[in-house]
């Protein structure tokens, strides 16, 4: 087994016992990036020089006997996380030259634990997309099959794990942006409960939906990394002041007698047969482990996509107003006065999908339309949240597919935004409800693409979904099947 295939859990022990140095490990990851990224294009920025310096520092600190959980472990971040001194583009032309003066809290916490940054990962521009095709820095390709998308918006974060370019990565999930690419790339993606991880220093797309989470090789790493980044942050008023449990402790517990709910609205006609088959097999596995499978209903599921595209775009239209060419980022040349400067900078700086969503959101908030769109959407959101709370009174967790199909082909849906939007139908309601969810690999399609299953938990029920996911991985081999490249 190559060094670059290993997990945080394994590498931490190896580094601590000095079986490997961080410098060796970081070199291995950097050469892996060099070898594979011309095909995959997961990285927007590779910080090789700084990474080697940091690795050396890590080695020194290990030799002093100081080896924290992430000391010397090379990781990478979606390019939506601010990193002091390292460019943060959000995959947008409007931020092509933006270097933040401060670190996002999530990254600061990883750094504090000794992590080494390999670079910044590709994504859909401003996290708007499901395929990683909406990037000013080119498409990221699925390491399992280069003609397919890796999923989005955290496509680079998932592809980098699948291509063994980083030990672990962070993504953000607004409507499925961690879980869907994790599913399409055959890795583990966790979207924590809204408020579990600080959003400070994470470029906002839709503030009431955005949440930070890890993408990792296995469930153990997911639990470990969540433990590092989770917790109250005085700089984020929406982060919740609740103690962070030791998530790894939950992984060893069995799931006998646990009630797993199957929302009937998620197992619909037209679900890809390979996906259906993977779900059936997973259900059988859980049954064999002593779980009880129950039928539940989430009656407002049909309204979720429409609701999401009103709320998310409304918030985005306001969140993206600060990119005006005045203080930072792209500024148009030859502008004729103030208004023209803002117009031109935004026109040149934003991509098509971002403009589409800003226009949608602006419209939804306009006077005369606010009640019919934004306010109505907020009401439906409450109903969707209530659906989940009702379901959780009957089941401990819910099991669903992550996406209706495995990863589609690059270019397949770019002409049909609505088709693209509908591919997130199983992940979007989770963000609207603010609950937690995890995506793990549960099969491989007839075309050789990974298929994910999604486990959903109550608010702050991360321990339970991690526990169930760990039991699945202990009893199946899907997560050990890697992309061949």
Residues interacting with other proteins, by CB under 8 A? 82, 88, 90, 95, 98, 100-102, 104, 199-204, 206-208, 234-238, 314-315, 317-318, 320-322, 324, 326-328, 338-339, 342, 362, 365-367, 370, 374
Say which residue the tokens 């030799």 belong to.
63
Nearer to other proteins, 68 or 355 (CB): 355
| Shortest CB 194 distance to other proteins, Å | 10
> Active site residue: 130, 153, 154, 345, which one?
153
> Active site residue: 130, 131, 157, 177, which one?
177
Nearer to other proteins, 161 or 428 (CB): 428
Distance between CA 30 and CA 46 in Å, rounded? 9
Order the strands of the 259-263 sheet from edge to edge.
43-46, 116-121, 74-78, 168-173, 211-216, 188-191, 436-444, 450-457, 397-401, 259-263, 292-296
**Strands 188-191 vs 436-444: parallel, antiparallel or unpaired:** antiparallel
Distance between CA 70 and CA 68 in Å, rounded? 6
| Shortest CB 109 distance to other proteins, Å | 15
Catalytic residue status for 482: no
Nearer to other proteins, 190 or 312 (CB): 312
Catalytic residue status for 177: yes
| Shortest CB 115 distance to other proteins, Å | 19
Catalytic residue status for 474: no
Nearer to other proteins, 362 or 414 (CB): 362
Nearer to other proteins, 269 or 336 (CB): 336
| Shortest CB 227 distance to other proteins, Å | 23
| Shortest CB 314 distance to other proteins, Å | 6
Nearer to other proteins, 206 or 250 (CB): 206
**Strands 43-46 vs 116-121: parallel, antiparallel or unpaired:** antiparallel
Nearer to other proteins, 82 or 455 (CB): 82
> Active site residue: 6, 21, 22, 78, which one?
78
| Shortest CB 131 distance to other proteins, Å | 23
Distance between CA 25 and CA 165 in Å, rounded? 11
Residues annotated as catalytic are 78, 153, 177
């Amino acid at each position: 087994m190559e060094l670059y295939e290993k997990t945080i859990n394994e590498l931490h022990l190896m580094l601590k016992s000095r079986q490997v140095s961080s410098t060796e490990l970081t070199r291995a990851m950097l050469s892996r990036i060099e070898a594979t990224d011309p095909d995959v294009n997961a990285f927007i920025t590779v910080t090789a020089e700084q990474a080697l310096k940091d690795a050396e520092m890590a080695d020194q600190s290990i030799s002093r006997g100081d080896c924290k959980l992430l000391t010397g472990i090379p990781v990478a971040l979606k390019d939506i996380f601010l990193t002091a001194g390292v460019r943060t583009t959000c995959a947008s032309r409007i931020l092509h030259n933006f270097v933040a003066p401060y670190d996002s809290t999530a990254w600061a916490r990883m750094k504090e634990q000794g992590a080494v940054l390999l670079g910044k990962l590709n994504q859909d521009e401003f996290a708007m997309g499901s395929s990683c095709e909406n990037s000013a820095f080119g498409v990221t390709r699925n390491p399992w099959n280069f003609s397919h998308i890796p999923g989005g918006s955290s496509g680079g974060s998932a592809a980098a794990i699948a291509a063994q370019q980083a030990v672990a990565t962070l993504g953000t999930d607004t409507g499925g942006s961690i879980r869907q690419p994790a599913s399409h790339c055959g890795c583990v993606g966790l979207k924590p409960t809204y408020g579990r991880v600080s959003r400070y220093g994470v470029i906002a797309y839709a503030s009431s939906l955005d949440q930070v989470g890890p993408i990792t090789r296995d469930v153990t790493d997911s639990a470990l990394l969540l433990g590092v980044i989770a917790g109250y942050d005085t700089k984020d008023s929406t982060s919740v002041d609740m103690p962070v449990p030791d998530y790894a402790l939950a992984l060893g517990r069995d799931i006998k007698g646990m009630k797993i709910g199957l929302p009937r609205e998620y197992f619909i006609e037209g679900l890809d047969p390979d996906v259906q088959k993977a779900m059936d097999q997973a259900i059988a596995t859980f049954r064999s482990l002593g779980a009880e499978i129950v039928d539940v209903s989430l009656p407002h599921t049909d309204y979720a996509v429409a609701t999401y595209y009103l709320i998310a775009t409304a918030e985005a239209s306001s969140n993206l107003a600060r990119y005006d060419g005045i203080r930072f980022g792209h500024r148009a040349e030859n502008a004729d006065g103030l208004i023209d400067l803002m117009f031109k900078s935004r026109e040149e700086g934003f991509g098509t999908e971002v403009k589409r969503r800003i226009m949608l959101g602006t419209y939804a908030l306009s006077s005369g339309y606010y009640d019919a769109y934004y306010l109505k959407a907020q009401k439906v959101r409450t109903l969707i949240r209530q659906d989940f709370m009702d379901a959780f009174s009957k089941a401990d967790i819910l099991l669903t597919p992550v996406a209706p199909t495995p990863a589609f082909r690059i270019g397949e849906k770019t002409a049909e935004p609505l088709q693209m939007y509908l591919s997130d139908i199983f992940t979007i309601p989770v963000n609207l409800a603010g609950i937690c969810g995890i995506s793990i690999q549960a099969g491989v399609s007839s075309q050789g693409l990974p298929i994910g299953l999604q486990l959903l938990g109550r608010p702050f029920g991360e321990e339970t979904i991690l526990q169930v996911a760990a039991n699945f991985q202990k009893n199946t081999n899907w997560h050990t099947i890697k992309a061949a490249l």
